[in-house]
A and B are shown apart, each in its own frame.
Chain A
Amino acid sequence: MPTDGFMYPNEIELQWSVLIVLYPFLTGLVAGAFILASLERVFRVEAVKPTYRLALLTALAFLLVAPLPLQLHLGHPERSFEMYLTPHRSSAMAMFGFVYLWYLMAVLVLEIWLDYRRDIVVLSQTTTGIKRLLYRVLTLGSSNISENALAIDNRVGWVITVIGIPSAFLLHGYVGFIFGSIKANPWWSTPLMPVVFLFSAMVSGIAAVLLLYMLLNRLRKQPSDIRCVDTVAKYLFYMFIIDFSLEMVDLIHRIYESDESFRSLDFMVHTRLFLSQVVIQILLGTVLPIVLLALTQVARLSEIARKRIYVFAGCLTLIGIFAMRWNVVIGGQLFSKSFLGYTTYKMGFATKEGLLPAIVLTVLPLFILWVLVKVLPPWSEKETAPVSAAVAAN
């Protein structure tokens, strides 16, 4: 028997699998990457400019994949459109469809389109064949890239980013709310849940963009802008401090209050969740990267050393945040709501909700990002010449 103690008979089977762990992880990366992008746009942090477009494309790539694990997990995927037909107003999950669409279409796609419009118009004039057709469609038949038009785009883009920040908060805050609002489950039910999800999202998104930026530069054999990397790492450090404090507030609150579920949950953390929660999430995934990042802030390290630390800390951060999602989603289902027993989660491999689809869905956004980078190159230097030429020709 995989269970200890007493479970209600229907509880032995876990309902939400690794795919549901993946979902908040992916949307977290989206929200985090977008907020990093908005730093440059709204808060005018010039140093992070080289990551701006990459952050937007990363957000789009992950956002496109985010609903797939949910879809795969449904007992009847063919009925998911019902969420748009008859959304139940009292359900946090029903809002998913609308928040998702709003964020995808009204914020992300729009912002990317406005920011890339000049490039798209230029590309529609300089490319041939299918590519040309694609860019022609993307221009929506308007090739007006006069200074006035671009100024309008810039202003509208700014407004959209301003709207986008609360939207990104909404997108991920509501994911936290899905868990935090379940009063039946004391492991989930806390008003801090959306806030913790939000800050951990920013942490993971910033870390992901930092890593991708350095990785892509390496592939392109271009040097990473050290001022940019330092600034992004600094923001990662600040966000991490806030995120860690919030998680500790939650933990201390639970320990001090010691409600009826405490003994059961405490036992779970010390046994079944010890590795994933205490070791991976807290020690390796949070404390260690914070210490490493603090080191780069305090000590005078060489550029190479700093970059290596950023890469290492970034990887640890992503592992730690994934572990956090795991501990929330899976941990919340390991104990009985009678507080008298525990079950285990057995992950399949090549099953519908197993490890293999989870890995595929994690790699898929990177592939989409690769395509997006090909179609909408985020680097400006190569395009500078043709764009200015085209503008002049106009």
Chain B
Amino acid sequence: MKLKDAAHLFRLAGVFAAGILIFILVRSYLVPKSFGQYGHFRGDALTEIKAQPISYAGHQACEACHSDVLDLKSKGKHAQVNCEACHGPLAKHADDPGGVTPEKLDTAKLCVRCHEANSAKPKKFPQVASMEHSGGLACNECHTPHSPAIVTEGGKK
């Protein structure tokens, strides 16, 4: 008697149950396979992010061929400056040394990026007001970029 009068509620419950069931089925089908592999994210995302191509080969790659530069550089003030910091991204060159040749650098523009005097730079960092210092002359007229200290007859200046 009572159950009969609540029949419409059971029908409604049936509609809800069907909805929930469909949701569970659809969900199990749509959740990416690798989700939860390492945590609450798509495990394949790691592989995809790792696959991004490299632009900067890294100094280790440069040094494999350019050991002469490494020797020169390691004795000078620029020992800690990595190759591509000045030469730019050269992974393509490292991939194909013959086919891709790096651009020649303009020291008049390049060196001031670091060495132009600025009151906010650490005081012990070597810096010059470039116009006063060289009057627009390219830096490599006097300095060797890979070992920039100028050696005079009396020793290092």
Contact = CB atoms under 8 A, between A and B. Distances in A.
16 contacts: A81-B30, A84-B27, A85-B31, A86-B35, A110-B12, A139-B8, A140-B12, A140-B15, A144-B7, A144-B8, A148-B2, A148-B5, A149-B6, A149-B8, A152-B9, A153-B9
A135 B134 CA distance: 91
A113 B31 CA distance: 33
B30 A142 contact: no
Interface in B1-38: 1-2, 4-9, 11-12, 15-16, 19, 23, 27, 30-31, 35
Interface string A321-345: 0000000000000000000000000
Interface size class of B (residues with CB under 8 A): 10 to 19
5 A-B pairs with least C-beta separation: A142-B8, A148-B5, A149-B5, A140-B11, A85-B31
A144 B5 contact: yes
A53 interface: no
Given A86-B31, A142-B11, A156-B9, 20 more contacts: A84-B23, A85-B30, A86-B35, A86-B40, A88-B40, A105-B19, A117-B8, A139-B8, A142-B8, A144-B5, A144-B7, A144-B8, A148-B1, A148-B2, A148-B5, A149-B5, A152-B5, A152-B6, A152-B9, A153-B9
B70 to A, nearest CB: 36
A5 interface: no
A345 B31 CA distance: 37
A149 B10 CA distance: 12
A81 to B, nearest CB: 7
A105 B15 CA distance: 11
Contacts of B6: 149, 152
Residue of B9, B19, B27 with most chain A CB atoms under a 10 A cut-off: B9
Contact of A105 (B9, B16, B40): B16
A142 B5 CA distance: 10
A146 interface: yes
A141 interface: yes
A139 B27 CA distance: 29
Interface in A40-70: none
Contacts of A117: 8
- For B5, B8, B27, B40, the residue with the greatest tally of chain A CB atoms inside 10 Å of its CB is B8
Contacts of B35: 86
B20 to A, nearest CB: 10
Contacts of A149: 5-6, 8
Contact of A140 (B5, B8, B19): B8
Chain B facing A: main interface SS:
helix
A146 B40 contact: no
Contacts of A153: 9
Interface in A96-127: 105, 110, 113, 117
Nearest to A140: B11
B7 A113 contact: no
Interface of B: 1-2, 4-9, 11-12, 15-16, 19, 23, 27, 30-31, 35, 40
A106 to B, nearest CB: 8
Contacts of A152: 2, 5-6, 9
Interface in A282-339: none
A48 B9 CA distance: 28
B5 to A, nearest CB: 4
Interface in A199-247: none
B27 A141 contact: no
B137 to A, nearest CB: 35
B27 A85 contact: yes
A84 B2 CA distance: 37
Contacts of B2: 148, 152
A99 B30 CA distance: 21
A335 B35 CA distance: 37
A310 B110 CA distance: 72
A370 to B, nearest CB: 27
Contacts of A148: 1-2, 5
A257 to B, nearest CB: 35
Residue of A81, A110, A140 contacting most chain B CB atoms (<10 Å)? A140
Nearest to B36: A86
Interface string A142-164: 10101011001100100000000
Contacts of A140: 8, 11-12, 15
A86 B4 CA distance: 40
Nearest to B30: A85
Contacts of A144: 4-5, 7-8
Q: Name, among B5, B16, B19, B31, the residue most crowded by chain A CB atoms within 10 Å (CB to CB).
A: B5
B4 to A, nearest CB: 8
